[in-house]
Amino acid sequence: MMRSVKFPFFLLFLIGLLCAETLPPLNIARLKYGGGGDWYSNPGSLENLMRFIEAQTGLKMAETQAVAEPGSPELFQYTFIYMNGHGNVFFTDKEVRRLRYYLENGGFLHADDNYGMDASFRREMKKIFPDKEWVELPLDHPIYHQRFSLPEGLPKIHEHDNKPAQGLALFHRGRMVVFYTYECDLGDGWEDASVHNDPPGIREAALKMGTNIYLYHLKQQLTDSMP
């Protein structure tokens, strides 16, 4: 049986308030999943997001994204994982167990549908949490009001099926463990301007939302670490 793991980050974070030079950079890990989908899409997006978070908050972020596979021990080195893509997502039985354990013990997943990932992603999440249902977050939820206030919720980066963008969440014991940005395409908005030719205002809105998601996760981690 796996023993409970507490992520050590916030102990380091609190110490780092006094000695910031010694605090290791924070990182966001991209989830390398199976099934044939392009888990690697928008390759420059996370680095751009981390540079924006660093500039807006003063947090020291890693220079490059990490990559973690759901069945690997390295998954537990990161408290925040991100996944996106256009195609099929598939988790093996071992990966399902690992991801459930990771998420129930302090991990956080931001899933960002690039258009085409939705059906398989929902199917695989049901394997991980068969007892949980997606909750659409109201516009006054704190995730939309961290460093930036976004009263209209998720920005709509690309049109796709012309549906409204939705911020959907799964909770475990009152803590958000998965945030799913659907019909939104935040990762496209984080990419270099030359990749998708999105207007500056759209890219800025995407980066602000990404910053809010990351800060919301950090605040959850800080709250969980309190006695």
Residue 172 has pLDDT above 90, yes or no: yes
Q: Residue 148: give its domain's CATH number.
A: 3.40.50.12140
What integer is the mean pLDDT of 56-76? 94
Q: Which domain holds residue 137?
A: 23-225
**Per-residue CA distances from 224 to 10, 73, 147, 171, 178 (Å):** 9, 22, 20, 14, 16
Assigned domain for 62 exists: yes
**Per-residue CA distances from 135 to 33, 94, 159, 180, 197 (Å):** 24, 26, 22, 10, 32
CA-based nearest residue to 40, from 4, 72, 85: 85
Domains held by the chain: number: 1
pLDDT band at 162 (very low <50, low <70, confident <90, very high): confident
Residue 139 has pLDDT above 80, yes or no: yes
Assigned domain for 1 exists: no
Assigned domain for 204 exists: yes
Query: What would the pLDDT profile of 4-33 be if each residue is shown by its tens digit?
Result: 344 444 444 444 444 455 678 999 999 999
**Per-residue CA distances from 153 to 111, 146, 167, 198, 215 (Å):** 16, 12, 8, 19, 16
Assigned domain for 18 exists: no
Q: φ and ψ at 100, to 5 degrees?
A: -65, -45
